[in-house]
Amino acid sequence: MLSDEQFVRYQRQVALPDVGECGQHKLLNGRILIVGCGGLGTAAAQYLAAAGVGSLVIADDDCVELSNLHRQLAYRMTQLTLPKVAALAQTLASINPDCRVRTVQRKMAGSVLDLEVAHADIVLDCSDNLETRHAINAACFAARKPLIAGSAIGWEGQLVAFDFANQPQGCYRCLVPDDVTPTSGRCTDLGVMGPVVGSIGNLQALMAMQWLLQLNHFQSHQVMRFDGLNMQWQKWHLLNDPDCSVCCASPSKPHSTTNLASPINEDES
């Protein structure tokens, strides 16, 4: 049973027929790992905390800088030079005390990444570089944990989810091979429009809630790209690369596709 305070706090969600008190309890029991506390991660974390997700692990090794503030709205001038995970944890605590937040102030890789992925119900990739993205993808596939990857650069955003437990073919490496040179750079070089980043981060939060609520609307293996200048969405179905070294598709199957869309990375620094 929800407490009286919880019922009032989450009433607008509980009123939805596909949420209800049962769904709210699923959110309260949820455990989400967010890798990257930049524009994507801060947007997602705030909405997840506000919605009553019970446990968030936030990971980043950067500190808050002045150039972050135009798009990373969880941070304030008074938090400049603070570690991002500490500053974000302060903001989340002020939003909702129901949400338990644990911070990891380091780059996620190796056994630390594997352990955090194993303890999570779902993982949000909000990182800023392909090395980390591929490491997260491999760790989630190995642990059969769902992964929602978001990215943004310029006026464009990209979103893709993988339900590795139920559809173990096709992964981030099928979309962006790890042996190619990115055609686009970081937003320190090319710039990024703040609301685009926030929109993608918010949608990562929405998809994570859909998965925790066990809704049939969770769309995995769909590559979605948003054009912020023209306000248009494009969508592709991601097919597996039979030569992928991560999801280990059968080499006897016909080649479907690789690199469906060029990588776009949101600068978290």
Cβ-based neighbours of 219, under 8 Å, separated by 6 or more: 161, 207
The answer to whether residue 22 is catalytic is: no
Residue that has been written with the tokens 């798009």 in this structure: 71
CA distance 19 to 22: 7
Q: Exactly one of 187, 244, 247, 248 is catalytic; which is it?
A: 187
Q: Check: CB of residue 116 under 8 Å from CB of residue 107.
A: no
Cα 226 versus chain centre, distance:
16
Which residues does residue 148 pair with via DSSP β-bridges, in sequence order? Answer: 124, 161
Angle at 62 between CA 121 and CA 119, to 5 degrees: 15
Judge contact between 156 and 73, C-beta under 8 A: no
The DSSP annotation for 180-199 comes to: S--SS--HHHH-B-HHHHHH
The H-or-E segment that residue 12 falls in is: helix 11-14
- Edge-to-edge strand order for the sheet containing 222-227? 100-104, 55-59, 31-35, 122-125, 147-153, 156-162, 222-227, 232-237
Query: To which H or E segment does residue 88 belong?
Result: helix 84-95
Active site residues: 187
